């Protein structure tokens, strides 16, 4: 991804409208890994009594980090799609804290990528959620926002 975005270009996250709406921010990318941050905002709360962020927002954080980890695992960028995402909630996220999600792509085949991910609030050593995911590679060849972004970054060439 570095040839397209550098070490930490926020455009990687901004091409997805849902990620923008949630306010996801890129923290770090590396080969096979991605870490995103989710700022705490009252409109993301699912339990107003306790102030806990809605579980669907956590799922979105982990899904986005997982997809980015897959993208960081490919020699040639191509379209991907979530096939399966299982999230285990280990505890409630700390109300008022910025949340983080890190994903690691541990296996890539010709058509599928496999991910492990976790989410935390205070420290990565105490996650509040963990996830396993699979992604289909070469999923959609239509003109997606991601495909447009890659083409623009490559100087107009069509992504593979």
Domain boundaries, the chain: 2-149
pTM summary value: 0.83
Using DSSP, state whether 134 is helix, strand or coil: strand
Low-confidence ranges of the chain (pLDDT < 50): 4, 158-160
- pLDDT for 142 equals 64
Domain 2-149 has CATH 3.30.980.10: no
Residue 104 near residue 28, CB atoms below 8 Å? no
**Whole-number pLDDT of residue 12:** 65
pLDDT value for 152: 74
Three-class secondary structure of residue 39 per DSSP? coil
Predicted confidence at residue 104, as pLDDT, reads: 98
- Residue 63 CA to residue 102 CA, distance in Å, equals 10
Beta bridge partners of 117: 103, 131
Check residue 128 and give its pLDDT. Answer: 97
How confident is the model at residue 160, as a pLDDT? Answer: 45
Rounded to whole angstroms, the Cα distance separating 98 from 88 reads 19
pLDDT of residue 76: 83
- According to the model, what pLDDT value does residue 73 have? 93
> How would you classify the pairing of strands 112-120 and 99-108?
antiparallel
């Amino acid at each position: 991804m570095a040839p397209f975005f550098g070490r930490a270009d926020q455009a990687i996250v901004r091409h997805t409208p849902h990620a923008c709406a949630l306010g996801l921010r890129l923290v770090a990318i590396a080969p096979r890994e991605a870490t995103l941050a989710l700022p705490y905002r009252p409109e993301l709360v699912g339990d107003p009594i306790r102030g806990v962020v809605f579980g669907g927002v956590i799922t979105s954080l982990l899904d986005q980090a997982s997809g980015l980890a897959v993208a960081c695992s490919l020699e040639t960028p191509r379209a991907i799609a979530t096939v399966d995402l299982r999230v285990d909630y280990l505890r409630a996220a700390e109300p008022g804290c910025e949340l983080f999600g890190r994903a690691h792509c541990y296996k890539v085949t010709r058509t599928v990528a496999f991910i492990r991910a976790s989410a935390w609030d205070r420290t990565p050593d105490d996650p509040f959620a963990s996830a396993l995911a699979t992604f289909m590679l070469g999923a959609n060849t239509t003109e997606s926002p991601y495909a447009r972004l890659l083409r623009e970054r490559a100087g107009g060439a069509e992504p593979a």
